[in-house]
Amino acid sequence: MADTKNATLTFGDKSLNLPILKPTLGPDVVDIRKLYADGDLFTFDPGFTSTAACESSITYIDGDKGELLYRGYPIEQLANKSSYLEVCYLLLYGDLPNAAQLEDFNNRVTRHTMVHEQLHYFFRGFRRDSHPMATMVGVVGAMSAFYHDSLDINDPWQREVAAIRLIAKLPTIAAMAYKYSLGQPFVYPKNSLDYASNFLHMCFAVPCEEYVVQPALSKAMDRIMMLHADHEQNASTSTVRLAGSSGANPFACIAAGIACLWGPAHGGANQAALEQLREIGSVDRIPEFIRQAKDKSSGIRLMGFGHRVYKNYDPRAKVMKESADEVLDLMGIHNNPTLQVAKELERIALEDEYFVAKKLYPNVDFYSGIILEAMGFPTSMFTPIFAISRAVGWIAQWKEMIADPTLKIGRPRQLYIGPAQRDYVEIKGR
């Protein structure tokens, strides 16, 4: 009977037994924690393509089936039936809230949406044409300089307060970054508005006239936020975990996550995808573009396509595609050329052998920009909106890690291929 509880690693005259750990869902895991101590060996896995860096109970992705579960609940069900703040509660505390719990959580978040008035001065130091992600990294990191009563990561109550503050204040900070780039005055949050409506109001209201948020738009924004809320150990979440493992305060860790998300291979892809669709411009230019995207020497990739885990259609992209049709229709935008190019590009790519063989499908970033552009956002605000949404995922994963009694600082090793030891040579001898 094959041993399914241990893996045996045999090399030279050594043979090591490595325990097999069983997950609730997903592949079995070979526990290599004693590999170096017992076998004087490292593993080598740049990009962590086959490495589980932690245990987690928060989010599960089945890349082959294209499934995404938040605490076991399928993303499609949550996107159609839940709300972003209810999803925040679910990700943070592990279960869906009852009515009283949701109301209490909603009230706690609502009453933390304002930022310290002196944080306004930080914006003055930035150029008006700064990318809002640059501003967000700076201002969120600077929250460590203000909220001294929620910096102690060893105090569960302070961790809870920091979590609420970050979820509550990120939309305010992102909206302030947007207003600052426009040269318009900051708009304060309004406690009478729900989370998504408040964000839209802070972005698009001006002091000179009443701004009424369209319920259908705030519903679409709320759904976009749910779709982006968490995604297991992606690059920015892993950044937050690694920063948190050193004991850094929560605001510094989330600022690190925002910085990592900015990259075009990650959260920056929603901006890059829309800019690429605009550059293609019309359906007849798609074949030439597809040719370039398949030619490595072109340096061009189809942005919003492909994924490290999904080797099937990203379930979030499916919901996003449906939402794009709804929002454009609501905004009275018909025959939107960018959406037409996106749909035709998807159709052609999904029939092309290169994309089929490499299992490249649209990901969460392929359609999101079309919706956000229709709502009136510039492309520079796409990744900040991703950051607002993902903040709860980063925080839930950070809290899970900090509460783990076995927490150790993250410190990977390496495969050293540099020069062996050699002696210093005086400059006259070189």
**Contacting residue, 266, 318, 321, 399, with ligand SDX by CB under 6 A:** 266
249 touches ligand SDX by CB under 6 A: no
302 touches ligand SDX by CB under 6 A: yes
Shortest Å, Cβ 145 to ligand SDX? 28
**Quick one: which of 266, 66, 285 has its CA closest to 293?**
285
**SS3 assignment for 128-144:** CCCCHHHHHHHHHHHHH
Which listed residue (112, 201, 231, 307) is catalytic?
307
**Contacting residue, 171, 244, 250, 304, with ligand SDX by CB under 6 A:** 304
Beta bridge partners of 73: 70
Which of 151/360 has CB closer to ligand SDX?
360
Question: What is the C-alpha to C-alpha distance for residues 336 and 278, in angstroms, rounded to an integer?
Answer: 11
- Is 230 considered catalytic here? no
Which of 213/277 has CB closer to ligand SDX?
277
- Is 266 considered catalytic here? no
56 touches ligand SDX by CB under 6 A: no
Strands across the sheet containing 6-11: 6-11, 14-21, 29-30
Question: What is the C-alpha to C-alpha distance for residues 182 and 176, in angstroms, rounded to an integer?
Answer: 10
**Contacting residue, 179, 231, 241, 321, with ligand SDX by CB under 6 A:** 231
Cβ-Cβ contacts under 8 Å for 73 (sequence gap 6 or more): 82, 90, 96
Strands across the sheet containing 59-62: 59-62, 67-70, 73-74
Question: What is the C-alpha to C-alpha distance for residues 233 and 26, in angstroms, rounded to an integer?
Answer: 14
320 touches ligand SDX by CB under 6 A: no
**Contacting residue, 305, 361, 367, 382, with ligand SDX by CB under 6 A:** 305
234 touches ligand SDX by CB under 6 A: yes
Beta bridge partners of 184: none
**SS3 assignment for 239-294:** HHHHHHHCCCCHHHHHHHHHHHHCCCCCCCHHHHHHHHHHHHCCHHHHHHHHHHHH
265 touches ligand SDX by CB under 6 A: yes
**Contacting residue, 306, 315, 369, 384, with ligand SDX by CB under 6 A:** 306
Query: Nearest-CB residue to ligand SDX?
Result: 306
315 touches ligand SDX by CB under 6 A: no
Shortest Å, Cβ 273 to ligand SDX? 6
Q: Would you please indicate which residues are annotated as catalytic (active-site) residues?
A: 307, 365
Which residues lie near ligand SDX (CB under 6 A)?
A: 47, 231, 234, 265-267, 269, 293, 301-309, 358, 360, 363-365
